[in-house]
């Protein structure tokens, strides 16, 4: 069943909110697709393929990638590890909280399954230089007071350039089912309304469907009910405010519609496993 598909957590692998690596042709067991099988991630994954070819299975669709291509996978999408035995390029895993809202809107606004973005030789060179610098900085001195700010600044540049590459991109897209289209509409509405609307019934009403049908559609396409995604979006917005703003936890609670900031703090800890203050300190140092 969908809900049994494992979710891989980025925090299990890094505390930076970012994982970056360059893979080469013939890298031994780089993907481990057979042993890992289908899974979801709680984060974004980007691929910048420079040479060769590879393939990905995403929500039962095979996406073929070749040199000079940019591609990304959303947190909700079920996929296998990339088959990159004959491919060369960059793998970038990014905590959703670090993706600016305007970039996220570009990446998540599609009703259809996103398609690979072809890059010109000049664009590919720009991506390579930026990611090579980011990789070098990640391997640098983590006691430097500017270690995290520099890494996150370079990451923001990559995300903005990638969003620019995809903005307005047109091309053949795979048709989606009614549940998948409803899920996309719900996610866009959720991003816009989450600060004021927390009720599954309210979202169903705004989408002109019953709460049970909306739940059914979301479970079918993502494996989780409406309440789960509302909770995730609240946490994502909280993390964004903790990362981007100077608001204190009490102010963030009120901004997100919680009159009782102590309840919000307990809620944050329950969902993320840590305190809001600890999250801010982890990413800002």
CATH number of the domain to which 276 belongs? 1.10.10.60
- Is residue 173 a part of any domain in this protein? no
Q: Is 78 within a domain?
A: yes
Count of structural domains within the chain? 2
Quick one: 183 and 162 in the same domain?
Answer: no
24-56 pLDDT, tens digit per residue, is: 877 654 444 344 567 778 899 999 999 988 888
User: Last residue of some domain: 116, 135, 166?
Assistant: 166
DSSP 11: G
What is the CATH classification number for the domain harbouring 154? Answer: 2.60.120.280
Instruction: Please report whether residue 172 resides in a domain.
Output: no
Report whether 92 contacts 20 (CB < 8 A): yes
Q: Rounded to whole angstroms, how far apart are CA atoms 189 and 110?
A: 13
50 and 156 housed in the same domain: yes
Give the pLDDT confidence score for residue 250 in this predicted structure.
94
- Domain match, 21 and 130 both: yes
Non-local (6+) Cβ contacts of 33 within 8 A are: 80, 81, 82, 83
Residue 191 domain-assigned (yes or no): yes
Q: What is the average pLDDT value for the chain, to the nearest integer?
A: 85
* Together in a domain, 10 and 107: yes
135 and 237 assigned to the same domain? no
171 assigned to some structural domain: no
Q: Are residues 203 and 146 in the same domain?
A: no
pLDDT at 111: 54
Residues 148 and 194 in one domain: no
The 3-class secondary structure across 176-220, one letter per residue, is: CCHHHHHHHHHHHHHHHHCCCCCCHHHHHHHCCCCHHHHHHHHHH
In a domain, 219, yes or no: yes
Residue 5: what pLDDT?
60
For the chain, 285 residues long, give each residue's pLDDT as a single digit of tens: 333 467 788 888 888 899 999 988 776 544 443 445 677 788 999 999 999 888 888 876 888 888 899 999 998 787 877 776 778 999 999 999 999 988 987 888 665 678 899 999 999 999 999 999 999 999 999 899 999 999 999 999 999 999 999 986 744 344 557 887 888 789 888 988 989 999 999 999 999 999 999 999 998 888 889 999 999 889 888 988 888 788 899 999 999 999 999 999 999 999 888 899 998 888 765
Residue 32 within any structural domain of the chain = yes
Residue 111 and residue 194 in one domain: no
Instruction: Show which of 145, 166, 187 is a domain's final residue.
Output: 166
Same domain membership, residue 199 and residue 78: no
Q: Is 160 found in the same domain as 23?
A: yes
Place of tokens 């599954």: 200
218 and 109 assigned to the same domain: no
Which residues are paired to 117 by β-bridges?
70
Q: What's the pLDDT score for residue 173?
A: 44
Structural domain span for residue 121: 2-166
Point out the domain boundary residue: 166, 197, 221: 166
Contacts of 155 (CB under 8 A, 6+ apart): 18, 94, 98, 134
Residues 42 and 116 in one domain: yes
118 found inside a domain: yes
């Amino acid at each position: 069943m969908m809900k049994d598909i494992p979710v891989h957590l980025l925090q299990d692998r890094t505390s930076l909110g970012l994982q970056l690596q360059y893979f080469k042709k013939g890298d031994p067991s780089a993907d481990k697709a057979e042993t890992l099988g289908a899974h979801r991630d709680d984060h974004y994954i980007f691929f910048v393929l420079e040479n060769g070819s590879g393939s990905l299975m995403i929500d039962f669709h095979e996406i073929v990638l070749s040199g000079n291509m940019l591609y990304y996978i959303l947190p909700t999408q079920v996929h296998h590890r990339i088959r990159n035995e004959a491919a060369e390029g960059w793998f970038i895993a990014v905590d959703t909280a670090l993706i600016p809202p305007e970039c996220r809107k570009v990446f998540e606004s599609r009703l259809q399954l996103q398609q690979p973005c072809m890059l010109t030789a000049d664009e590919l060179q720009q991506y390579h230089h930026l990611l090579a610098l980011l990789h070098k900085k990640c391997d640098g001195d983590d006691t430097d007071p500017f270690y995290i700010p520099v890494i996150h600044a370079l990451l923001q540049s990559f995300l903005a350039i990638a969003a620019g590459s995809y903005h307005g991109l047109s091309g053949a897209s795979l048709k989606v089912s009614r549940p998948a289209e409803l899920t996309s509409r719900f996610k866009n509405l959720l991003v816009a309304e989450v600060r004021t609307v927390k009720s599954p019934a309210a979202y169903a009403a705004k989408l002109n469907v019953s709460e049970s049908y909306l739940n059914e559609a979301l479970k079918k396409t993502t494996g989780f009910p409406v309440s789960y995604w509302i909770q995730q979006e609240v946490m994502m917005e909280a993390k964004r405010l903790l990362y981007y703003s100077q608001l204190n936890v009490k102010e963030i609670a009120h901004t997100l519609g919680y009159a009782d900031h102590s309840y919000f703090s307990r809620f944050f800890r329950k969902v993320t496993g840590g305190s809001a203050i600890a999250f801010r300190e982890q990413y800002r140092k």
